[in-house]
Amino acid sequence: MRGYLGEVLLDQVSKRYGRGPWVLRDLTLEVSGLTVLTGANGTGKSTLLRIAAGILKPTSGRVVRPASVGYVPERFPSDVRMSASSYLAHLGRVRGAVAGDVLERLGFVGSMTAPMSELSKGNAQKVALAQAFLASDVLVLDEPWTGLDPAAADELVSLLEGRTALVSDHEGHLAPATRLDLSGGHVMIELSRVPALDALEALEGVRSVQTRGSSVRVEVAPDRSDHVLAEALRLGCSVRSVR
Amino acid sequence: MISLVRYLAADVLRGQRYLAPLLVFLGVMGMLFGGDAGEPLEAYSGSSALLYPVAAWMAVVVATSEDVVRREITVVTAGGWSRVLTAAALVSVLFAVAMALLAAVWPVVTNPHPYTAGQFFVGLGAHTGCALLGVGVGLMFARPVFDSTGRTVLAVFSVVVLTYPLGRVTPLGWVLDALGHNEVSLSLLWAGVAGAVLVAAAVLVGVRRA
């Protein structure tokens, strides 16, 4: 399945490892600009990113993504024997893309021909970012600011402007981006006969509103679900389901 | 796909883990063909039997050359697990065929018995078949089918060791039996087909498990 217009769509995605607990449950998310994932450790941010990138298959649900996705893992390995220049050249050839000026803009300092295991953590992270920016459609970045100096961190924010990206970020580097907090789960309310989407979106606790045919799915913070339900009924909506 | 194969092959050659199976292969080949190794096809049976575990070992090296995290980046870059696992299988087969070629040429140079072109190609086919069987076994138990190196080593070692006493029950046995009797047999071809099927099955199992 290929995405459209460089967007990633996760539709009712759930994930559990083997018979373990559910890490993600019925998550629906459309990434069409900059989207930041937040949440405490262990809330499934990295799992969600790996599903979005195509590394993991969801236990249930559907993922639609474009052809060219760039991915930066939470920790880029420190024992790579290949040089940065070879690595980027090889991955560029695999993508059929030419390396841009990402490394220069991030202020990479170090040998391009020495094994990457000899690079500092920050410079190795810059190589990881440079390979991801070879992708033309969507970026999936797991804590991409890890190890970057302040100047490189600011430059990464600039590089992300105008891109479609799903990013996990604890430190608030992307303040204007759409945010999705994975902490504490959510309640999904499915409504029909909705007279005003704007009024629903404005309700406190509503995280997202998505139209699907004749119904509307409203993702709500668990502590505000009763309030949102009452308001939806007051607006004249019919409630199809609450999960 | 060619770019991906080039990258994975370059990564294997950059590491040094391929040296261990290669040195074992070269060392044992030197011992096998240090003197008169016997009739042409019979001489090939020892090196064919050797190539099976060495190719399995080399396939595990290729499959696990990238660590888990870098493999994930490669999967995203290439556009999916199936492309990466197919490329890894191709790299394993390339290494295995190179060793098969060396094993087929070696006695032609060192064995006092003269070789005809036909005997050389039968030997090359037999070695390639055994090498493909080894690659299939190696990939079948390497990442992403088994995540732990310990389990991979144990499974590959067990299967390889158990293959020999089973004799003609296995495709390897077909090859060794034919060569040992200095015969040309269709079973050599079928062993190659079985090896190719095993490699393809290992890729499919890997894609399902990933």
**pLDDT tens, residue by residue, A160-198:** 988 889 999 877 787 777 777 777 666 778 888 888 888
- B81: nearest CA in chain A? A55
> CB A93 to CB B7 under 8 A?
yes
**Integer Rg of chain B from CA:** 17
* Alpha-carbon gap, residue B13 to A95, rounded angstroms: 22
Return the amino acid letter for A225: S
Report which listed range, A139-143, A199-203, B176-180, is most confident.
A139-143
- Distances in whole angstroms, Cα of residue A57 to Cα of each of A25, A106, A162, A181: 14, 32, 28, 22
Q: How does residue A93 score in pLDDT terms, banded at 50, 70 and 90?
A: very high
CB B183 within 8 A of CB B119: no
What is chain A's mean pLDDT, rounded?
85
- A187-242: CATH topology is Alpha-Beta Plaits (3.30.70)
Of B14, B77, B210, Cβ closest to residue A94: B77
Domain span including residue B93:
2-209
pLDDT tens, position by position, A3-48: 445 688 888 888 888 887 788 888 888 888 888 888 777 778 889 9
Burial of B59 (0-12, 13-18, 19+ CB in 10 A): buried
Which chain B residue is nearest to residue A50, measuring alpha carbons? B72
DSSP A14: E
Question: Residues B171, B190: contact at Cβ < 8 Å?
Answer: yes
Query: Contact at 8 Å (CB) between A163 and A174?
Result: no
What is the model's pLDDT at position A4?
46
Chosen for mutation from B16, B73, B84, B208 (greatest number of chain A CBs closer than 10 Å) is B73
Q: Tally the domains of chain B.
A: 1
pLDDT of residue B62: 96
Query: Which of A131, A94, A104 shows the shortest CA–CA distance to A116?
Result: A131
Q: Of A94-103, A222-231, B97-106, which gets the smallest average pLDDT?
A: A222-231
Backbone angles phi, psi at B166, to 5 degrees: -75, -10
Which pLDDT belongs to residue A2?
A: 43
Superfamily of domain A1-184: P-loop containing nucleotide triphosphate hydrolases (3.40.50.300)
Strands A138-142 and A34-38, sheet pairing = unpaired
Cβ <8 Å between A71 and B72: yes
Q: Which residue of B has its CA nearest to A51?
A: B76
**Residue B175 DSSP code:** H
Instruction: State how beta strands A164-168 and A34-38 pair.
Output: parallel
Return the percent helix, strand and coil in chain B, to nearest 5.
80, 0, 20
Flag whether residue B169 sits within 8 Å of chain A, measured between CB atoms: no
DSSP letter (8 states) at residue A237 = P
**B15 interface with A at CB cutoff 8 Å:** yes
Check CB contact of B69 with chain A, cutoff 8 Å: yes
Model-level pTM?
Answer: 0.79
Q: What is the pLDDT of residues B155-199, one digit of tens each?
A: 999 999 999 888 888 999 998 988 887 777 888 889 889 999 999
Q: What are the extents of the domains in chain A?
A: 1-184, 187-242
Find the residue in B nearest to A116 (Cα). Answer: B14
Tokens of A96: 């059929």
Name chain A contacts of B13, Cβ cutoff 8 Å. none
For testing contact with chain A, the best of B76, B143, B147 (most A CBs within 10 A): B76
Q: Which residue has the tokens 């190609």?
A: B121
A75 against B55, higher pLDDT: B55
Given an 8 Å threshold on Cβ–Cβ distance, is B69 in contact with A77?
A: yes
Q: CA–CA separation, B157 vs B163, rounded Å?
A: 10
The per-residue pLDDT for A185 is 62
Paired tokens of A121 = 């953590």
The interface residues of chain A toward chain B in range 3-62, judged by CB-CB distance below 8 A, are 50, 53-55, 57
- Confidence at A223, pLDDT banded by 50, 70, 90: low
Output the pLDDT for position A3: 43
Q: Are B42 and B33 in contact (CB under 8 A)?
A: no
The DSSP H or E segment spanning A27 is strand A22-31
Q: Is A212 exposed, middle or buried (0-12, 13-18, 19+ CB in 10 A)?
A: exposed
Mean pLDDT across A93-99 = 87
Task: Give me Rg for the CA atoms of chain A.
Answer: 20
**C-alpha of A13 from chain center:** 14
Low-confidence ranges of chain B (pLDDT < 70): none
Place of tokens 């204007």: A176
The whole-number pLDDT of residue A197 equals 83
